Chains A and B, each alone.
Chain A
Amino acid sequence: AQSVTQLGSHVSVSEGALVLLRCNYSSSVPPYLFWYVQYPNQGLQLLLKYTTGATLVKGINGFEAEFKKSETSFHLTKPSAHMSDAAEYFCAVIQTGANNLFFGTGTRLTVIP
Chain B
Amino acid sequence: ETGVTQTPRHLVMGMTNKKSLKCEQHLGHNAMYWYKQSAKKPLELMFVYSLEERVENNSVPSRFSPECPNSSHLFLHLHTLQPEDSALYLCASSQESGIRGNTIYFGEGSWLTVV
Which A residues form the contact surface with B (CB < 8 A)?
Answer: 4, 9, 32, 34, 36, 41-46, 49, 51-52, 90, 94, 96-106
Would you call A32 and B101 a contact (CB within 8 A)?
A: yes
Cross-chain pairs A/B with CB under 8 angstroms, 26 sampled: A9-B40, A32-B100, A42-B109, A43-B4, A43-B6, A43-B90, A43-B106, A43-B107, A51-B101, A94-B101, A97-B56, A98-B48, A98-B50, A98-B56, A98-B98, A99-B31, A99-B48, A99-B97, A99-B98, A99-B100, A99-B104, A100-B45, A100-B56, A101-B43, A104-B42, A105-B41
For the complex of A and B, 4 pairs with smallest distance between CB atoms? A51-B101, A43-B106, A44-B106, A43-B108
Would you call B2 and A45 a contact (CB within 8 A)?
A: yes
Chain B 50-104 residues near chain A, CB threshold 8 A: 50, 55-56, 90, 92, 94, 96-104
What total count of A-B pairs have CB within 8 Å? 67
A105 to B106, CA, bound (A): 17
Would you call B108 and A98 a contact (CB within 8 A)?
A: no
Contacts of A44 in B (CB 8 A): 43, 90, 92, 106
Contacts of A98 in B (CB 8 A): 48, 50, 55-56, 97-98
A41 to B88, CA, bound (A): 10
Contacts of A96 in B (CB 8 A): 100
A52 to B101, CA, bound (A): 9
Contacts of B105 in A (CB 8 A): 46
Contacts of A34 in B (CB 8 A): 103
| Max count, chain A CB within 10 A of own CB: residue among B104, B107, B109 | B104
A49 to B103, CA, bound (A): 8
A49 to B41, CA, bound (A): 22
Contacts of B92 in A (CB 8 A): 44
B100 to chain A, nearest CB (A): 5
Contacts of A46 in B (CB 8 A): 103-105
